[in-house]
Amino acid sequence: MGYSLAQIGMEAEAEVRVARAEVSEAAFTTEGSRPEEATKDFFVERNGLRFAGTHLILDLWEAQRLDDGPFMEEVLKRCVEASGATLLHLHLHEFTPNGGLSGVAVLAESHISVHTWPERGYAAFDIFMCGDARPHAAIPVLREAFRPRWVNISEQLRGAF
């Protein structure tokens, strides 16, 4: 039996909730496993959980302007600014003849990467940030810029303990 994309999205959200609960439970039941804080390591502490950073995976479907390199560069810079991150380097590669793009914004706080398939109206974004950066603030920037019909988002707390 096949699944609709909506069903797959709901199942993925449920899996994310279960994984968060498991990570939260592990963080509170593993006594003595947290390292001493001698230096600033830019780990994040939220709701009693300590982790390296938030990794968002975004799938944009029926999106626009996915083959426009200068526009993508501008959008990635706006994502970095909205997130309060620090841009170190931005590199995009434009593919021919389909016009897809692949690229990465290397951040002091980690990265934002993108891969597009304009012939399918699909874009895959990874947003991973640590420290005080706010990766979720990039989501409205991407929605406004590319006007996708729908977006699938998953979140992973990297290095949680």
Please list, in sequence order, all residues whose beta carbon lies within 8 angstroms of the beta carbon of residue 43, skipping any fewer than 6 positions away: 50, 51, 52, 53, 130, 159
The catalytic site residues sit at 110, 115, 130
129-156 pLDDT, tens digit per residue, is 999 999 999 999 999 999 999 999 999 9
Which domain covers residue 140, as residue numbers?
Answer: 5-158
Residue 13: predicted pLDDT: 57
More confident residue, 12 or 49: 49
At residue 106, does pLDDT exceed 90?
yes
Count of structural domains within the chain: 1
The CATH number that applies at residue 124 is 3.60.90.10
44-89 pLDDT, tens digit per residue, is 888 888 889 999 999 999 999 999 999 999 999 999 999 999 999 9
